[in-house]
Chains A and B, each alone.
Chain A
């Protein structure tokens, strides 16, 4: 049999593609198969991606939680109010439908995040200014408190006093912000 791509070399690779139930036989020589894979198998390949692997991970997880699941009435399906994605759909595609899914699937995704991010479950990075609001203050206070501990251990009390005053003033700012928003 001759390769269907170049019509020159003998076909050494034979496989069957089934798309929407339609069967197609593919016969390629090694050369063309390589060229083809070079064309099609690149980043984000929809054929097999991180999301496929993820779906496996998520499925295992729902297996572990069976006992918990059984305590709910059987017909109850966990579904996001906003995008209507069900937990099962999320498991299948490995992607969320909208930001509200994070809230809807909250209890189930925590162990998954832990596994994916080496045990971490709380964001430590950048905070957007617009959404951040008092988060920036909270972050700074937290950092200063760590700094304060180090200064006390090192017996640098003068600097420690400065940091303590800074923390107090930030805490006051935080309180007034809370007052504004309530």
Chain B
């Protein structure tokens, strides 16, 4: 029964709140990688050790008020489609879903906290916040880290900091990332110049689903690359410094677009709105692009009868896992395109009806 709660709705409750700078920043995330002192890392540990770690974690979290409400889900007990939905909601990584040895996840009711067990490292604490709230996310993650650490001894040494499975995470074990919607920087072709500049500053830019994925719907994830030799606060401040600059650039690009080609922009927004509300077949890439255009239209005030949250919801609902979950079974790609179009049309219609009733 418990899994139902996490997969029945597309938008996690933390997502429906609007955070600071939420016209451009969708969400902020802090991830801390930790390992237990006495166990081999997941690359080489035995199934017994893996099970032992999950039991250990469950046992030590049980008595702590702050974390006793976290729900434990064991990967091997979940259906593949349910795991896929959790991936699409960014609550677990694809690696945990598909390649973990006795992997598990502890989830908070609001889905703003997820603690993955036996992914690449024994423990991966993840805290999510709406809008640009990296410091708040860090505070929350660090507090949870302290709680876990009061029960479990971490692998740590003075020189290298937190000892992680992969040398790219050693030190703080922290990955701070910000999900940004940057349509104007794409339209004005500035992103091609910005990405290499960001990379040179020790940060990484990726598409919405992380490593190896492309920027679907003009959404980019910017995160720190370096984890050793800098404190958590410095890493977050450096990242924030860059993010504020990108926000300023995106805003001025939006202003410039409105000034120079208002009618073309309005046309683009409404065409996309037309596609979303009328198409009968739509591929995921086109859906993501149209949703991005409409979101921009809402931010610029062209469209007012539709909320931003519905777009967050549709970005997730139109992923293959969710579509198949709603259909109640596997769908072929062309069937998915039809379902996707129907779902988007119905969802927008529902939104309009709600607005009229209010």
A contact residues vs B (CB 8 Å cutoff): 5-6, 8, 31-32, 34-36, 38-39, 41-46, 48-51, 54, 82-83, 85, 93-99, 102, 109, 112-113, 116-132, 135
Contacts and interface: CB of A to CB of B under 8 A. Distances in A.
Contacts of A6: 332-334
Nearest 9 Cβ contacts at the A-B interface:
A120-B229, A123-B161, A43-B210, A44-B95, A99-B155, A35-B333, A125-B172, A117-B228, A97-B44
A153 B278 CA distance: 70
Interface stretch (B162-170, B181-189, B263-271): B162-170
A129 B142 CA distance: 12
A116 B99 contact: no
A123 B149 contact: no
Contacts of A95: 41, 43, 120, 165-166
B31 to A, nearest CB: 12
14 contacts: A34-B283, A38-B284, A41-B212, A41-B213, A44-B93, A46-B95, A46-B99, A97-B40, A117-B170, A118-B226, A118-B229, A120-B230, A125-B161, A132-B156
Interface in B33-67: 35, 37, 39-41, 43-44
A66 B232 CA distance: 37
B172 A45 contact: no
Contacts of A122: 159, 228-229
A20 B231 CA distance: 45
User: Size range of the interface on B?
Assistant: 35 or more
Given A50-B211, A123-B172, A131 B156 contact: yes
Nearest to A45: B212
Contacts of A42: 87, 94, 209-210, 212-213
B64 to A, nearest CB: 15
A139 to B, nearest CB: 10
B94 A102 contact: no
Interface in B208-248: 209-213, 226-232, 234-235
A34 B149 contact: no
Contacts of B283: 31, 34-35
A118 B99 contact: no
Tell me whether chain B's interface is mostly helix, strand or loop, or mixed: loop
Contacts of A83: 40-41, 44
A109 B170 CA distance: 12
Given A112-B167, A123-B158, A123-B228, 20 more contacts: A5-B333, A8-B334, A34-B285, A35-B336, A44-B93, A44-B211, A49-B211, A54-B167, A94-B166, A99-B35, A99-B163, A113-B228, A119-B229, A120-B226, A120-B230, A123-B159, A123-B172, A125-B231, A126-B142, A130-B149
A44 B120 CA distance: 9
A113 B167 contact: yes
B171 A51 contact: no
A15 B284 CA distance: 24
A5 B332 contact: yes
A117 to B, nearest CB: 4
A39 B99 CA distance: 15
Contacts of B172: 123, 125-126
B160 interface: yes
A128 B154 contact: yes
A128 B149 contact: yes
B146 A116 contact: no
Interface in B128-147: 142, 145-146
